C-alpha cells in the first residue's frame, strides 16, 4: 500500500516478440493519436532502451522497426517544421509555433503568384501538427487531390494545391539519433 503523494516504479520485462509488438503498437498509437514529437521521442527512447537491454540481438526486424519508427518521426518534421517546395524550385519554410498565411499579399508568410487569393489559406503550426485550412478562397485548397473543407494535418510527401500553385511538403533535416 502506498502513501498519498508517493510514486511506484513498475518494471516490465518483455520477450523479444512482446517488445516487437510493443514497437508496432507505438506506431499504431501515434497514427491514431498524433502524439506530440516530444512524447513520441520519449516513448521511442524508452522502448529502444527496453529493447537494447532485454531483447536478444538476434530478434527479427529489430533494426528495421527502429529505423522505420525514427524515419516516421523525422518525416513529421520533428526538428522544427516543414519546407514547401514549388515546381519552379522556390521553397518556403514553415516553422513551429507560428500561424502562417498563404497567398499573394505582400505580407504573406508563404507568398505565391498566379491564380491565388490575397489571403488564400492558413498553415497553423502552433500545436503538435501543422494544420492546413482554406481562408474562404475562391478557388479552393487541396491536399493530395482532396478539397480541404476543415483543417487537416500536413505530412512529408503531401501535395498541396493552393489556387494554381502546387507545393510539395518536405521535412526539415532531422537530428534524430540512432
Show me where the domains of the chain are located: 16-75, 81-171
Given pLDDT bands bounded at 50, 70 and 90, which one contains residue 87?
confident
- Measured over the CA atoms of residue 18, residue 20, residue 26 and residue 27, the dihedral's sign is negative
- 81-171 carries CATH number 2.60.200.20: yes
What average pLDDT does the segment 67-71 reach? 61
27-49 confidence digits (pLDDT tens): 656 555 566 666 666 777 776 66
Given pLDDT bands bounded at 50, 70 and 90, which one contains residue 77?
very low
What is the Cα–Cα distance from 162 to 178, expressed in whole angstroms? 37
The b/e string for 31-49 (b: 16+ C-beta within 10 A; e otherwise) is eeeebebeebbebbeebbe
What average pLDDT does the segment 151-168 reach? 93
Q: β-pairing, 131-134 with 141-143?
A: unpaired
91-144 confidence digits (pLDDT tens): 898 887 789 999 999 999 999 998 999 999 999 987 777 899 999 999 999 999
Percent of the chain with pLDDT over 70: 52
What average pLDDT does the segment 47-64 reach? 57
Q: Residue 21: helix, strand or coil by DSSP?
A: helix
Between 18 and 78, the higher pLDDT residue? 18
Amino acid at each position: 500500500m502506498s502513501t498519498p503523494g508517493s510514486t511506484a516504479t513498475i518494471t516490465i520485462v518483455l520477450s523479444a516478440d512482446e517488445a516487437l509488438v510493443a514497437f508496432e503498437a507505438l506506431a499504431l498509437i501515434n497514427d491514431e493519436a498524433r502524439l506530440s514529437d516530444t512524447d513520441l521521442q520519449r516513448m521511442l527512447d524508452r522502448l529502444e532502451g527496453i529493447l537494447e537491454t532485454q531483447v536478444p540481438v538476434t530478434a527479427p526486424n529489430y533494426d528495421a522497426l527502429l529505423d522505420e519508427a525514427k524515419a516516421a518521426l523525422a518525416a513529421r518534421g520533428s526538428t522544427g517544421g516543414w519546407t514547401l517546395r514549388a515546381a519552379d524550385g522556390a521553397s518556403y519554410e514553415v516553422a513551429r509555433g507560428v500561424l502562417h498565411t498563404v497567398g499573394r499579399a505582400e505580407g504573406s508568410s508563404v507568398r505565391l503568384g498566379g491564380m491565388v487569393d490575397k489571403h488564400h489559406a492558413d498553415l497553423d503550426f502552433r500545436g503538435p501538427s501543422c494544420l492546413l485550412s482554406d481562408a474562404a478562397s475562391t478557388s479552393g485548397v487541396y491536399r493530395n487531390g482532396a478539397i480541404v473543407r476543415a483543417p487537416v494535418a500536413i505530412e512529408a510527401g503531401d501535395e498541396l494545391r493552393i489556387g494554381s500553385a502546387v507545393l510539395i511538403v518536405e521535412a526539415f533535416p532531422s537530428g534524430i539519433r540512432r
